[in-house]
Structure 1
Amino acid sequence: MADENTPNGAAPQPAAQAQNAGQPQLRMQVLAQYIRDLSFENGVAQKGAPAGEIQPEISVQVSLDARRRGGENQYEVINKFRVTSKNRADGATLFLAELDYAGVFQIEGVPNEQMHPFLMIECPRMLFPFVRRIIADLTRDSGFPAFNMDPVDFVALYRQELARRAQAQQAQAEAKPS
């Protein structure tokens, strides 16, 4: 039911929008995304299949990097993934995939104190489905079953990195002679 008191039949403005009217609007646009570096080593094809039954054990390492670009409010965010599959029985490497996948983002309306977590959490989250597809296609096209990575918890990854840095600073401070 329309509010009869609003001019020209316009919908009333919700209270939350009215309160946020003075704050800058968050705006994020993906300007580009691309593979910066890609490497795949197929240990099975190079050395032959390991003797006995193959029981793959896969590990995934993720690291992130972000930097300002030349344009105003532009940032490049790089997701680095290292996926290693080893045979559980003998430790032989079945494959090793390394992918650096980047996105260029135009970001406006994020306060400076929140920009770092935004770059390290939200931007990688936007790029992850593309990384997942590339790794799945790469493993499948190399003769292995497609490896569909589990979603990455970028918030937990960010918190772990903050804790690691705090520990390193504390250790450095304790190591300094008085």
Structure 2
Amino acid sequence: MSENGASNGAAQPQVQMNILGQFVRDLSFENVMAQKGATGEVQPDISVQVNLDAKKRPAEGQFEVNIKLNIQSKSKPTGDKLFLLEIDYVGVFAIKGVPEDQLHPFLLIECPRMLFPFLRRIVSDVTRDGGFPPLNLENIDFVQIYRAELARRQAAQAATTPQQA
């Protein structure tokens, strides 16, 4: 084994990821409860939908990763909507050293993990500023989301591919 730890002389390329920028592309918060004039104690039932997307940018090695959240809060007893929050949060990444066959999962798992703490803070601030207790999102399992999307695509492809007898 050589001094740098490579046993066969072919060192693996070093993975490098830098966040070049991050921003809110779109944000909508609707306080339905206040618009209806409802008051009093409520027991919220919150649902969170997550969509991920990634695309290559014109610059070499740069990618744009989107996390879209659709968060709805309803009253448990009545089912009335309390609030609706939609946010499209984007990170611009410079990535080097990731093999081509591993780039897709890297973009849709590792990059969202880096963005999530910032997105969580925005959601907390917006819900608080919108008249509700701050919503502190639970961690999102981006690996599970990625696997579920792969399974969905494979099932859709199998449904459209003619079966041979």
1:20-99 matches, within 5 Å, as 22-49=11-38, 53-99=41-87
Q: CA RMSD in A?
A: 2.1
| TM-score, length-scaled by structure 2 | 0.92
The one-letter code matched in structure 2 to 1:68 is: K
- Give, in angstroms, the shift of residue 142 of structure 1: 0.9
> Which residue of 2 is the match for residue 13 of structure 1?
3
Distance 1:117 1:130 in 2: 21
- Give, in angstroms, the shift of residue 49 of structure 1: 1.4
1:26-175 matches, within 5 Å, as 26-49=15-38, 53-174=41-162
- CA change 1:121–1:20 in 2 (3 A) is farther
The one-letter code matched in structure 2 to 1:40 is: F
- Give, in angstroms, the shift of residue 40 of structure 1: 0.2
| TM-score, length-scaled by structure 1 | 0.86
Which structure dedicates a bigger proportion of its chain to helix? 1
Distance 1:14 1:22 in 2: 8
List alignment gaps of at least 5 residues for structure 2: none
Distance 2:36 2:9 in 1: 61
User: Residue 161 of structure 2: SS of its match in structure 1?
Assistant: helix
User: Could you give the per-residue CA deviations for residues 61-106 of structure 1, whole angstroms, max 9, x where no partner exists?
Assistant: 0000000001000000000011100011111110000010000000
List alignment gaps of at least 5 residues for structure 1: 1-11
The one-letter code matched in structure 2 to 1:48 is: G
Q: Which has the higher contact order (CA 8 A, sep 6+)?
A: 2
